[in-house]
Structure 1
Amino acid sequence: MSQIATFKVPTINNEPMRAYAPGSKDREGLEAALAKIAASGPYDIPAIVNGKEIRSGDKQPQVMPHDHKTVLANYHAATPETVSAAIDGALAIREAWEDLPWSDKASIFLKAADLVAGKYRFDIMAATMLGQGKNAWQAEIDAAAELADFLRFSVKFVEELYQQQPSRNSDGVWNRTEFRPLEGFVLAVTPFNFTAIGGNLVGAPAIVGNVVVWKPAPAATYSSYLVYKIFEEAGMPAGVIQFVPGSPPDIVKQCIDHKDFAGLHFTGSTHVFRKLWKDIAANLDIYRGYPRIVGETGGKNFHLYHPSADIKSGVVQAIRAAFEYSGQKCSALSRVYVPRSLWEGGFQEELVKQAGSITIGPCTEFEHFTGPVIGRPSYDRITSIIEKAKAAGGEVIVGGKGDDSKGFFVEPTVIVTKDPKSISMTEEIFGPVMTVYVYEDAEYDQTLKLIDTTTEYGLTGAIFGSDTLALAKTSRALRNAAGNFYINDKCTGAVVGQQPFGGARASGTNDKSGSISIFYRFISARSIKTNFIDPTAFEYPSNLV
């Protein structure tokens, strides 16, 4: 590998958000992309192995969640032979990709970010809206801004990582560290709910020299395919990323049963992640080493309101956290703790008024605050939990109904419970359901313990109030209850480079995407020592008499 200069990457900043106001050029561009993509479907999506398209003929549909009779894309499910070819091809290019100078890898990611933010911004947003049910704002913060941020900040963080070198050198010695990729291939299993997460789960291992087999979520196949094509246009060599849509259990099993499996980058359910961890552990004897397992899973996220909290802003934050994208974020608000003084002093009235005014509808109608849930299994699960919560004594004060006649729509729902450990307070729902528990003002300390112990999760949470001592006390008491903790702000909306994201307990390995930390998980460091002084005798001074 030839490296004849030390390069400095451009200054990296977060991608500016666009508003898509009526009559704006951005609104016009996005509407045109929506019309174009809708009219041109259904798309035929192949597996892509070593840069070549492979069509198995086993076509599986990706439907539009707001109009489930309309197919956005049909993807060709990868066969076992295709997956084997993908693994073999990735391993074949591994050495060349590892040896490619860092500056060339960085250029690919920076170009990909510019393609996302510019040339393909509206297309990838429209694909995310039509395929994954997001409205314009949710698609903007995900498929445009966050994806561009992940790509650019990856370059920044890896540059900083490579600059970390031993701080001391003894006389006549030069110490240095190189950050090798893992020995084998990484499997990336990506979710439906964030196009940006798909790009990052693939990109984070790749930028530090790993080769990646990508198993995209079936409900996000089309947008994932566009991300792959953007990497390709940016100059990613064929084979570094292998795109293999299809049956998640079958593809994942084939990958983790391979002796060269070196790492898992996963976002999805806690149940699935735990099973994969066990399956990987059972295979330890066949691997070259210990695979890296990186996962971000479920959450049962909370807002706690201190009696000193402001009611109106607190309600606004709760509505945004619980109902944006129909609650289909791992960070979405699910359980709310409100003191009786606030609840009876206007919080309940304000919550019912504002939540009751939310409209839901298809992504093509820009006025709606939220839209459909992703598909039939989600719809059935969410509506079932609402009914179980009602049967257990929960009172639905907003919403509670669904309509699956055309799309998978569930009303933004607010449940009030007298049981802080009821089903809708403990079980992850992944839908537009907020459950409120009203606590007595004098029982604040007990409520802190309740929040910390009610669920097995530890992803996000927030405290609202103006009492500085109470805020500090709460932050300490809930230190382990959330990997991302917010003070007077909603529990969603982590920004790359600003709030590194991830949780512990049953919520994942807390490796903090959006920061330098995640890249340590996909490198294997080698310490190198060069000695400049030849010894002349084997004895040490302590051996002399």
Structure 2
Amino acid sequence: MWQQRQLKEGINRSAWIDRLLPQLIADNHLRTQALRFIDAVPMLNDDKTLVRHFKEYFGEVDPGRLPALISWGIRRISLYSIPGFMAPVIRAAVKGVAHRFIGGETVAEIVDSVSRLQQSGIHTSLDLLGEETVSEKEAFAYQQAYLDLIQQLARQGFDDLNLSLKLSSLYSQITPVDTDGAVAILSERLMPICDAAMDAGISLCLDMEQYDYKAIIFRVFKHLAMQPSYRQWQGFGVVLQAYLKESDEDLTELLEWVEQRGVPVSVRLVRGAYWDMETVMARQQGWSVPVWQTKAETDACYERCLKRLFASPLIYPAVATHNIRSLACAVVLADQTQRSPDSYEFQMLYGMSDELKGLVTERGLKLRLYMPYGELLPGIAYLVRRLLENTSDQSILPVLESADVERVLAPPQVGENRRSEFEAEFINHPLHRFTQQSERENFAAALRSVEQNLDKTYPLLLTGHLTIEEAFLESFNPAKPDEIVGRVVRAGEDDAEVALQRAVDAQRDWGRKRFSERADLLQAAASKLIEHQDEFAAWEVKEAGKGWQEANADVAEAIDFLNYYAKTARRFDTVEQPDMPGEINTHEYLPLGVGVILPPWNFPLAIPVGMVAAAIVCGNSVVLKPASETPIVAWHLCKLLQEIGMPEGVVNYLPGSGAVIGEAMVRDPRTNFVAFTGSKEVGLHLLNVVTGLSESQRQIKKVIAEMGGKNAIIIDQDADLDEVVKGVIESAFGYQGQKCSACSRVICVEGIHDLFVARLVDAVESIRIGDPALPGVTMGPVISDAAKQRIVDKLDACELTASCVSKVELPASLRGHYLPPMIFSDVLEDSPLAQQELFAPVVAVLKAKNFAEAIDIANDSDYGLTGGVYSRSPDNLRLAKQKFSVGNLYLNRKITRANVNRQPFGGFRLSGTGFKAGGPDYLLQFLRARNITENSMRKGFSPESV
């Protein structure tokens, strides 16, 4: 025990942290493991689990690379494996790191910290930790926490105190797609805090966060600062991030605006804390990377901004930096602009680079420390971000005694050591980020254009053919059932005969073309679709009830299918020839013939495009019978194919009854294959239909069927609940749960169940429900009244065996096919709620004794489509990879939104047949392979021997 006590006392000293940081800077793998472990510690409540995680994260690292304390811990675990001995030591170490960077966990502690700093002539900016909010309940709790903090600080009589605030903590539904709505709500919620701060003589600074929120934060700041109540307030400020490429432009707009205001504001200039996240996210999504890619570029931008801030008499510059050159530049600029010492200040992070603070205060310059305050649990997220920021190559943490002064003070060399841009063989079409006002305006304009073209009648697109009897299939807006989106001519049996024969006739010539010729047409269609992507998405909003982001994602996926299948098809033009002497072998691919395409309504563009594109690029011709709920989107697709020059008869648009024309075409002997996406029941019926041969049929028909899922997300006891709740909300309630990939089961490992359910219920009750044409709406209607009634009938039976724990009230003004998001708890593993696909905004929550049992429960299903795991245990993640039996497994992210090429989509068991859509093998299902072998020897003579 003496040894343990001595070690814990050593941990409480900060010297070991100063030794640790250089090691983290030098070793990327060690830094990753250390930060991930620290991030998980708050959820590791029992000693055994804590020690197991410590070993999992550090046990595989080369002992020679480990810091002394960590190496000592690994040796003790390996020798004794006594959790009760090691766990307190580990917790003490993590707390030692946390307390180094966090000023206090209680108001009493923070008051003491602020008092000590003020006695040293150092000012403070307090940051209330825990800005991650997943519900409006949490958002209002943070608003009250800010107000309580201001009230308690006001009693202390501190001089020149500042409060830093993250706007995302005040609104759980903040999103760039609804920038106007977010600005209005956040302005309203911030006003009481501004009032309280003004009354208490406390200045307020709006922190800058991730790039998605930048425009919202600037707009809220400018809006409130121009209000009569606050226009004369000089204690209001905002942050500018120099690592953003838009910083110069943002500063220009800010300087022009402050001239209009006429009263000074504070601008805290920082480098930025989210560099890794911004870079990775942008590259994943195909967006322009918003941050500079080298430290030199960031440093140069920082200095440009410094010069302009010091040059403006209406700006109070707060120089927030640990960079020695930046500090020196600010001192020089202050002299050049004849700034008085009280007209600017330096800011540094509490607990970071203490040796630099003396350089500022000893010269009589004003220094303010950015001091986080709050509980350890939310504080760890801040701690990890700070350590990540200050141990990356985007930052400098100089050790003054050993620093090369000339190197540290040298001007940034822009253009050197530039990071190479990420390049991939296939680039997915980027989604709208909706951070730019032009993106939002263009989408809104497309919606207005579509609204002006509702209630029109659309023909069959069978040139020269007139229907014998004109009957119509009407399409209605599920959010407004009395609004007719349009009507299409309903095809009958005679029309089906014409379409099928045209497909047969067209296929002969089409099938003889080279793959590259057909691929060219697919890429032309993709280019045309890109030109009209907002228009197609707007049609989906109206006809399918998709929100802005869901509709945009569906169109982007359609573009990806066209480009990807065009690219992968070109390889088939190269004939394989595994020759031997005296023998010529040719391996080639031929089309199947004529196919019937039966897509669903829930992805009204992407799925029909994917199935049609794959079929026709392989030389087949098709009859497309769109879902009866979304025939208008399909009509516009086929019209687009006509416009880019698709030969007549290759794609035949035929809306109508599945029972009347769909099944007749499936049974017809001229049909060679059927591509279907939909329910398990219909898919199995089609498989049964095609197994029987008709009298004139000479080919076994192929069925490419993608069916349903009963998808589960497993939540481990160490999971990050902020990420879990957001991931489950998006996976379960995105597009009202009407996705075959949607999460309908959540399996919680014991210990986290109650906390997760409580936060999920609060988050679900914060979802904005309404017309998806409004950008701020998260959930719209289900597709039809029939679907709504089917769901209600099933849920009436389910409520006998489980309890619904969510109490969401639908707005009385809604008149569409709306259902509230529902969460059922205490669900039995074998109950219909846990086994049957509902295709609805419904989640069943189950319990598991441990992680292995959770996988067993997840696998106990007729389906095997998608699944997810939220865990911070490397061993459990490995176990999930080995045993979770699904076609698409997602670890620590939502389980919806599979990207073409990156996440080919398709499942096991009764979730489907064939290869995965959007993958390298998918086209093989639409082809016949043929091999030709020629004997090249004649009378013993072979041309190869000459």
1:59 maps to a residue whose letter is F
Pairing 1:122–2:534 present: yes
Please state how far the C-alpha of 1:438 moved relative to its aligned partner: 2.3
Please state how far the C-alpha of 1:310 moved relative to its aligned partner: 1.5
- CA deviations on 1:360-418 (whole Å, 9 max, x unpaired) are 11122110112111001111122223322222232333438797961111111111124
Pairing 1:140–2:552 present: yes
- CA deviations on 1:447-488 (whole Å, 9 max, x unpaired) are 3222212x211110011111111121222222x3x1111111
**RMSD of aligned residue pairs (Cα, Å):** 2.1
Alignment partners' CA distance in 2, 1:187 and 1:400: 43
Pairing 1:27–2:430 present: no
Alignment partners' CA distance in 1, 2:927 and 2:446: 39
Q: 1:350 aligns with which of 750, 759, 763?
A: 759
Relative distance call for 1:356 and 1:407 in structure 2 (3 A) is: same
Alignment partners' CA distance in 1, 2:523 and 2:676: 24
1:335 equivalent in structure 2: 745
Relative distance call for 1:252 and 1:170 in structure 2 (3 A) is: same
**Aligned runs of 1:431-470 on 2, under 5 Å?**
431-441=840-850, 444-453=851-860, 455-470=861-876
Q: 1:157 aligns with which of 565, 568, 578?
A: 568
Q: 1:189 aligns with which of 591, 598, 618?
A: 598
Aligned pairs, number: 517
Alignment partners' CA distance in 2, 1:403 and 1:251: 40
1:496 maps to a residue whose letter is V
Q: Whose Rg is larger?
A: 2
1:471 maps to a residue whose letter is L
Relative distance call for 1:259 and 1:355 in structure 2 (3 A) is: same
Q: Which runs of 4+ in 1 moved over 4 A?
A: 50-56, 400-405
Please state how far the C-alpha of 1:13 moved relative to its aligned partner: 1.7
Is this contact kept in 2: 1:90–1:185, CA < 8 A?
A: yes
2:888 maps to a residue whose letter is N
Alignment partners' CA distance in 2, 1:175 and 1:50: 43
Alignment partners' CA distance in 2, 1:50 and 1:102: 26
1:131 maps to a residue whose letter is E
**Aligned runs of 1:5-20 on 2, under 5 Å?**
12-20=426-434
Q: Secondary structure at the match of 2:857?
A: helix
Please state how far the C-alpha of 1:81 moved relative to its aligned partner: 0.7
Is this contact kept in 2: 1:303–1:464, CA < 8 A?
A: yes
Q: 2:650 aligns with which of 240, 243, 246?
A: 240
2:784 equivalent in structure 1: 375
Q: 1:225 aligns with which of 635, 638, 663?
A: 635
Pairing 1:296–2:706 present: yes
1:472 equivalent in structure 2: 878
Alignment partners' CA distance in 2, 1:283 and 1:403: 55
1:500 equivalent in structure 2: 904
Relative distance call for 1:147 and 1:51 in structure 2 (3 A) is: farther
2:576 maps to a residue whose letter is Q
Is this contact kept in 1: 2:492–2:660, CA < 8 A?
A: no
Pairing 1:79–2:469 present: no
Alignment partners' CA distance in 1, 2:460 and 2:469: 8
Is this contact kept in 1: 2:765–2:806, CA < 8 A?
A: no
2:434 maps to a residue whose letter is Y
Relative distance call for 1:277 and 1:286 in structure 2 (3 A) is: farther
- CA deviations on 1:492-521 (whole Å, 9 max, x unpaired) are 111001111001211110420101211111
Q: Secondary structure at the match of 1:47?
A: coil
1:399 equivalent in structure 2: 808
Relative distance call for 1:25 and 1:432 in structure 2 (3 A) is: same
Please state how far the C-alpha of 1:47 moved relative to its aligned partner: 1.7
Is this contact kept in 1: 2:804–2:822, CA < 8 A?
A: no
Please state how far the C-alpha of 1:289 moved relative to its aligned partner: 0.9
Please state how far the C-alpha of 1:11 moved relative to its aligned partner: 6.6
1:46 equivalent in structure 2: 459
Alignment partners' CA distance in 1, 2:548 and 2:933: 54
**Aligned runs of 1:249-268 on 2, under 5 Å?**
249-268=659-678
Q: Secondary structure at the match of 2:751?
A: helix
Relative distance call for 1:266 and 1:319 in structure 2 (3 A) is: same
Identify, as 1 or 2, the structure richer in helix.
2
Alignment partners' CA distance in 2, 1:249 and 1:130: 26
Q: Secondary structure at the match of 1:261?
A: coil
Please state how far the C-alpha of 1:50 moved relative to its aligned partner: 5.1
Please state how far the C-alpha of 1:536 moved relative to its aligned partner: 4.4
Please state how far the C-alpha of 1:339 moved relative to its aligned partner: 1.8
Alignment partners' CA distance in 2, 1:402 and 1:92: 54
1:216 equivalent in structure 2: 626
Q: 1:527 aligns with which of 925, 931, 942?
A: 931
1:5 equivalent in structure 2: none
Is this contact kept in 2: 1:483–1:510, CA < 8 A?
A: no
Identify, as 1 or 2, the structure richer in strand.
1
1:541 equivalent in structure 2: none
Alignment partners' CA distance in 1, 2:696 and 2:881: 44
Alignment partners' CA distance in 1, 2:591 and 2:892: 40
Alignment partners' CA distance in 1, 2:848 and 2:494: 58
Please state how far the C-alpha of 1:160 moved relative to its aligned partner: 2.8
- CA deviations on 1:179-211 (whole Å, 9 max, x unpaired) are 1101x4100001101111011111111110001
Is this contact kept in 2: 1:269–1:298, CA < 8 A?
A: yes
- CA deviations on 1:33-58 (whole Å, 9 max, x unpaired) are 21121122212122222576758411
Alignment partners' CA distance in 1, 2:804 and 2:840: 18
Please state how far the C-alpha of 1:24 moved relative to its aligned partner: 1.7
Is this contact kept in 2: 1:260–1:288, CA < 8 A?
A: no
Q: Secondary structure at the match of 1:93?
A: helix
Alignment partners' CA distance in 2, 1:225 and 1:58: 16
Is this contact kept in 1: 2:806–2:823, CA < 8 A?
A: yes
Alignment partners' CA distance in 2, 1:360 and 1:229: 33
1:445 maps to a residue whose letter is A
Alignment partners' CA distance in 2, 1:405 and 1:312: 30
Q: Secondary structure at the match of 1:212?
A: strand
Relative distance call for 1:56 and 1:142 in structure 2 (3 A) is: farther
What is the TM-score normalised by the length of structure 1?
Answer: 0.91
Q: 1:518 aligns with which of 916, 922, 927?
A: 922
**Aligned runs of 1:309-328 on 2, under 5 Å?**
309-328=719-738
Percent sequence identity over aligned pairs: 27
Q: 1:488 aligns with which of 888, 892, 914?
A: 892
Alignment partners' CA distance in 1, 2:711 and 2:459: 37
1:92 equivalent in structure 2: 505
Alignment partners' CA distance in 2, 1:172 and 1:404: 80
Is this contact kept in 1: 2:767–2:778, CA < 8 A?
A: yes
- CA deviations on 1:335-363 (whole Å, 9 max, x unpaired) are 0001231123x322221221110011112
Is this contact kept in 1: 2:572–2:588, CA < 8 A?
A: no
Larger CA deviation: 32-41 vs 261-270: 32-41
Larger CA deviation: 281-290 vs 508-517: 281-290
Relative distance call for 1:88 and 1:138 in structure 2 (3 A) is: same
- CA deviations on 1:67-110 (whole Å, 9 max, x unpaired) are 00111011111011110011111111111111223332111111
What is the TM-score normalised by the length of structure 2?
Answer: 0.53
Q: Secondary structure at the match of 1:336?
A: strand
